[in-house]
Structures are given as C-alpha cells and as structure tokens.
Amino acid sequence: MVRATRAHDQEQVALGPARVMRPDRAVGLVGYGAYVPRLRLPAKEVARVWSEGSALLPIREKSVPALDEDVITMSIEATRNALARAHISVEDIGALWVGSESHPYAVKPTSTVVAEAIGAVPHLLAADWEFACKAGSEALQAAIGMVGSGMMRYAIAVGMDTAQGRPGDALEYTAGAGGAAFIVGPHDEALVEIEASLSYVTDTPDFWRRPGARYPQHGQRFTGEPAYFRHITAAAQELMQALGRTPADYRFAVLHQPNTKFPQRAADLLGFSTDQMRAGLLVPEIGNTYAGAALIGLTAVLDEAEAGDRVLVVSFGSGAGSDAFSLRVTPRLAECRARAPRTRDYIARRKEIDYGVYVRYRGKLRM
Amino acid sequence: MEIPRNWRLRAQRYALVGEECDHCRTKIFPPRDICPDCGQEAKARFAFSGKGEVYSFTVVHDAPTGYEDQAPYAIALVKLEEGPIVTAQLTDVDSAQVAIGMPVEMVTRKLRAEGDEGVIHYGYKFRPTLAHA
C-alpha cells in the first residue's frame, strides 16, 4: 500500500484498500438538534484591539457563550432538540456520549449531567470523548457500531465546544461556541440513512493543549496541508471511491470549518461546488465550533434537505484525523423537522458584543 | 451543604420535574407531595413543558455571594402554562427588555460555581421564547 510521503502533493495520495465501515444492521439518524449561543463577537473587534484593524478577517463574526453557558448546558439544549424530533422513549437510549475539548470538568463527566437532564438515567453508557475537533464525530461512529450490532436501540452522540483562543492569537478570531446532537437508531425509523462511514487518522503535531494550560498552541506549518487538507481529502475520496460515487452524487457536502477559506479550498480539491457547500458552511456567521463544527453544519443541511438527497460529511480533528459519513435523506425528515428550532433560528438570534465584554464573559479578565 | 442539596433536587432543577395531584389534577412545582389545592397526597411525577410568561420581575444589581459575577441580572416570577408560579433567573435577555407578560421558556444553565476548583451547580432559568422561522 503506497501512501504519499509528501503530504502537500494531494494528487500523490495513493488510495489504499478501502476501509469503509458498515454495521450488520442498517442504522440512521432518528433525531438531530443544534445549539448556538446568542452573543456574537465580530472578527473586526479582535482586529481593532490587536492589529490596529489591519488583520485579514478569517470570518465575519463568532458565537460567544454567555456567563451561564458551557458544554453541559449547550449539550442539554441540543439533545432536547434532537429528542423533540425523534419522539422516542428516553428509557430506550443505551448510550449518551459528548465529544468536546472544553468539558467543564477535567474529571467528572459532561454526559451524566446531560443524561440526567433528559431523564435517560440510569441504564445507559455515558462518557466524554476527546479528539480535538473530531471528538463528536468519533462518538457518532461508535454510536453507529453500538446500534448496528443490536446492543441497544438508540445512542446519542453530541459534538459541542466553547473553544479557547489565546488573546491576540489567530485562533481568537475564530474560536466559537456551538454544536449538535444526533440520535442513532434503527434504519426503519430514520430521518437520515447512514450509508457508510470511514475514519482516517495519523499522528500529526498540528495543534494541542497540555493539561492545565488555558489556551491551545498550534504547530504553525502543520496546520494546513499535512493536517486539515490531507485528512479531509483522503477520508472523503476513499469513502466516495469505496461506494462508487463522485461529488455529483451528493446534493450537499459539509466539511470541518476552522475558517471560511479551508473548507472552500478542500471542496475545490475534492470537486464540490459552492452550491453544494452553501447550506452547511456556517463558520462565517458563528465561528469555528470545534467538535461541533462539521456536525452543526450537517444540522443546517438537514433543515433544508429533501427526501433522496445525499450528504457527505467530513470532520477533522487535530492530532489528527477525519471521519467521513455518506448519508441519504428519507421522507421522514420533512415530517419531523419543525418539531424543534432550526439551526438558522439560533443563528438569527444574535446580540453583538465588543471586545471588552467578550474578555469579561470568557474569563480572560483576572481580578 | 450546597452539594447534597443540589444533588437531591437535581430532577426539579435540571428538568423542571414536579408533581401532579391524582385527586384534582393540579400541577405542583416545586414538588411537595401534598396538593396545595385539595390537601390530598400528590406524589405522581410530572414534567412541566417549561413554557410560561413573566408574572413580575426585578433586576438584581447587588448580588448575593456566588452570583456577583453575573450582576446585573433579572429575577422573575414565571407563571407556567400548567399553573404554578416559579421564581427563577432570566437569561439571554437585557434587563431593560424584560416586561410583564413576556413569553419565556425554561433552559438549563449554570446557576453558580463554587470557585475555580469546586463543583458547578446547574438548574433552570428562563429566556425569551426562541423565535421559530
């Protein structure tokens, strides 16, 4: 099996034997829900304070959590929205997993609080997942396995973050807050059929945060080609190839979105058009929601997709890896969509704040 | 003291779970096992919808210990759709925009944290009802 040694030569990435994943029993998404906080910090505010306004802006504005919000509260609301669309009995939920890099506790699960709040305790698996921005999609892969093996009827996977950025760092322009929850269940109840998935991971030093450190660091030159572009394009291409598909088979594509430029360039490399990317590209309006980014993009797509539409979703997490999912919308989606707020309803609810208020709300002001 | 009390009350605090009287169908919050209407025993769990409206409110500027970081904030008497009135903090709203009769809905938020290293308490608050497209 030949792998590219120079990762920036995308054309040279040789595709190995496809490692496409499919469970024994067909499964799908039986519910989905999103959450975005109300506050917005325009990127030009960060530029005003740190670059005399001269910095190029990677997005228009980002979402900021209120003083009383964190990954627990945001996961509770997204999960309640997913349950409202699913109409299932909470006793049948066999797992609730939350992927994030901003869990409120280093030790004490986010997932047990969320499970308690929705009344799903005590007979379920509950744990927090960690893989930078891939933590939520990793939980989704595991949920497919648990439901697809028949060990449980439903499993919930959440990707949610209140991302951190060092004051003045490039990440401070984009580190946003938000995410999504998905309920995996039997195929015959699905709003969205999960056709197949694939995962592509390597050890790549592009981004990290050590225990106790308040802000993450990034390995400058590793950020783009060797990390984001290599993993996203390889995962997407290998999955499409294994299924005998091309970009033309998909009405929508959602890629992890750390800024506006990266997903647009990855889409170009893969052969997806602006039109295929439009519905799921939320980063200009809410920022990079890390473990939530690809997943909340998918919720915005599901808010407008029609029966028969195919959706390709590819996450990316630093460290590094990508999960790719090939999805197909069923007629049930249209019936259930209006039972919870749409992702756009949350994006439209906005209050702009300035850098000073942002510094106070994010605990960057130490007194 | 705070940790056991919050733990004991988690169902009502996280999810607004109260009771319903088997005898006269009165909905009860917070749960007290005796119906305030008919005086009979009432222990059936009842999950409130979380929808209601502001019955009255005040704005707190001089906050009690543990809440100083959040001031100023509004506290309201919220009349729930199912009948009871609960006292709760309002969130996602500027104090100047709070009005009597404003439709609100329950959200689960951070109530307070015991310093940087202690436990975080979560519970119900109310926000202006989210506009649906």
* pLDDT single digits (tens) A315-328: 999 999 999 999 99
Number of domains into which chain A is organized: 2
Verify that A167 and A210 share a domain, yes or no: no
Q: Of A76, A78, A88, A110, which Cα lies nearest the Cα of A154?
A: A88
Burial of B61 (0-12, 13-18, 19+ CB in 10 A): exposed
Residues of chain B with Cβ-Cβ distance to A96 below 8 Å are: none
Quote the CA–CA distance of B61 and A73 in Å, as a whole number: 25
Residue A35 near chain B (CB below 8 Å): no
| pLDDT over 90 percentage in chain A | 90
A–B interface: beta-carbon pairs under 8 A? 61
What pTM, to 2 d.p., does this model score? 0.95
pLDDT bucket at A17, cuts 50 / 70 / 90: low
CA distance B115 to chain A (A): 13
Of A72, A342, A351, the CB nearest to B133: A342
Residue among A61, A69, A101, A195 flagged as catalytic: A101
Contacts of A78 in chain B (CB under 8 A): none
Q: Report yes or no on A271 lying in a domain.
A: yes
What CATH number does residue A43 fall under?
A: 3.40.47.10
Residues B11 and B19: their CA atoms lie apart, in Å, by 11
Same domain? For A172 and A246 the reply is: no
Report the chain A residue with the minimal C-alpha distance to residue B119.
A105
Task: Give me the residue from A68, A76, A118 closest to B125, CB to CB.
Answer: A68
Query: Residue A133 catalytic?
Result: yes
Nearest to A191 by CA among A92, A20, A305, A296: A305
pLDDT exceeds cutoff 80 at A8? no
Map tokens 């749409």 to a residue: A342
The stretch B9-25 carries a mean pLDDT of 96
pLDDT for residue B1: 55
pLDDT for the residue B133:
67
Average pLDDT over residues B35-50: 96
Query: Among A245, A313, A229, which residue's Cα sits nearest to residue A279?
Result: A313
A263-270, long-range: CB < 8 A, 24+ apart? A265/A229, A266/A228, A266/A229, A266/A232, A266/A233, A266/A236, A269/A10, A269/A229, A269/A233, A270/A233, A270/A236, A270/A237
User: Which residues lie below 8 Å from residue A212, measured CB to CB, with a gap of 6+?
Assistant: none
Whether residue A160 is found in the same domain as residue A214: no
Is pLDDT at B125 greater than 90 in this prediction?
yes
Strands A93-99 and A192-201: unpaired
Give the pLDDT score at B2: 82
pLDDT of residue A238 exceeding 70: yes
Interface of A with B in 322-351 (CB under 8 A): 338, 341-342, 344-346, 348-349, 351
Looking at the structure, tell me whether residues A172 and A215 fall in a common domain.
no
Average pLDDT over residues A150-174: 95
Quickly count: other Cβ atoms within 10 Å of residue A171's Cβ: 21
Cα–Cα distance for residue pair B77/A287, rounded to 1 Å: 35
Of A8-17, A34-43, A127-136, least confident by mean pLDDT is A8-17
Q: Which tokens is B108 given?
A: 């689960």
pLDDT at A102 over 90: yes
pLDDT value of residue A7: 42
User: Chain A: residue nearest B45 by CA?
Assistant: A119
Chain B residues with beta carbon closer than 8 angstroms to that of A109: none
Contact yes or no for A38 and B92 at CB 8 A = yes
Same domain for A243 and A107? no
Does A207 map to a domain? yes
**Confidence bin at A14 (pLDDT 50/70/90):** very low
Same domain as A187, residue A58: yes
Contact B15 A66 (CB under 8 A): no
Least CB–CB distance from B132: residue in A76, A117, A345: A345
CA of B133 vs chain A CAs: smallest distance (Å): 6
**Confidence (pLDDT) at A221:** 85
| Mean pLDDT, range A225-247, rounded to an integer | 97
**Chain B residues touching A118 at Cβ < 8 A:** 15
Partner-chain contact A119 B132, CB within 8 Å: no
Would residue A338 count as lying in a domain? no
The answer to whether residue A138 is catalytic is: no
Q: Is the pLDDT of residue A67 over 90?
A: yes
For residue A81, is pLDDT > 90? yes
Position B55 scores a pLDDT of 98
Residues of A in contact with B94 (CB under 8 A): 351
A44 occurs within a structural domain:
yes
Q: Tell me if B109 and A119 make a contact (CB, 8 A cut-off).
A: no
Known active-site residue A336: no
Average pLDDT over residues A79-93: 97
* A75 and A108 belong to one structural domain: yes
Percent of chain B whose predicted confidence (pLDDT) is above 70: 98
A254 belongs to a structural domain: yes
**How many angstroms away from the CA of B102 is the closest CA of chain A?**
17
Asked whether residue A223 falls in the same domain as residue A251, the answer is yes
Q: Which of B122, B124, B127 to mutate to test the interface with A (most CBs of A within 10 A)?
A: B122
Q: Is residue A367 in a domain?
A: no
Report if residue A341 sits inside a domain.
no
Q: What is the mean pLDDT of residues A22-49?
A: 97
Q: How far apart are CA A209 and CA A4, in angstroms?
A: 28
CB neighbours (10 Å) of residue A150? 11
Q: Do A154 and A295 reside in the same domain of the chain?
A: no
Q: Write down the pLDDT at residue A15.
A: 46
Task: Give the best residue of A68, A342, A366 to mutate against chain B (max B CB count within 10 A).
Answer: A68
Q: How confident is the model at residue A281 (pLDDT cuts 50, 70, 90)?
A: very high
Compare A212 and A304 and report the one with higher pLDDT: A304
Same domain, A169 and A57: yes
Name A190's Cβ contacts closer than 8 Å, sequence gap at least 6: A27, A28, A29, A30, A330, A332
Inter-chain CB proximity B108 and A345 less than 8 Å: no
What pLDDT score was predicted for residue B117? 92
| CATH numbers and ranges of domains, chain B | 2-128 (2.40.50.840)
pLDDT for A250-274, tens place per residue? 999 999 999 999 999 999 999 999 9
B111 Cβ under 8 Å from any chain A Cβ: yes
A346:B130 CB<8 A: yes
Confidence of residue A43 (pLDDT cuts 50, 70, 90): very high
Q: Which residues of chain A make contact with B126, given a CB cutoff of 8 A?
A: none
The reported pLDDT for the residue numbered A6 is 42
pLDDT of residue B132: 79
Query: What local confidence, expressed as pLDDT, does residue B131 receive?
Result: 87
Q: What Rg value do the Cα atoms of chain A yield, rounded?
A: 19
Secondary structure letter of residue A26 according to DSSP: -
Full domain range(s) for residue A150: 27-191+346-361
pLDDT tops 50 at residue A4: no
- Please indicate, yes or no, if residue A295 is contained in any of the structural domains: yes
Q: What span, in angstroms and rounded, lies between the C-alpha atoms of A236 and A281?
A: 17
Q: Mean pLDDT, chain A, as a whole number?
A: 94
Question: Do residues A152 and A244 both lie within one domain?
Answer: no
In chain A, the percentage of residues whose pLDDT exceeds 70 is: 95
Spell out the long-range contacts of B42-45 with Cβ–Cβ below 8 A and sequence spacing 24 or more.
Answer: B43/B19, B44/B19, B44/B20, B45/B11, B45/B17, B45/B18, B45/B19, B45/B20
Interface of B with A in 34-73 (CB under 8 A): 47, 69-70
Specify the 3-state DSSP secondary structure of A261: helix
Q: In which band, very low, low, confident or very high, does the pLDDT at A215 lie, cut at 50, 70 and 90? A: very high
By the CB < 8 Å criterion, does A33 face chain B? no
Distances (CA, A) of A291 to A8, A297, B8, B73: 25, 11, 32, 31
Q: What is the pLDDT of residues A285-339, one digit of tens each?
A: 999 999 999 999 999 999 999 999 999 999 999 999 999 999 999 999 999 999 9
Closest by Cα among A3, A58, A18 to A226:
A3
Choose the closest CB to B130 out of A69, A76, A349.
A349
Both A156 and A274 in one domain: the answer is no
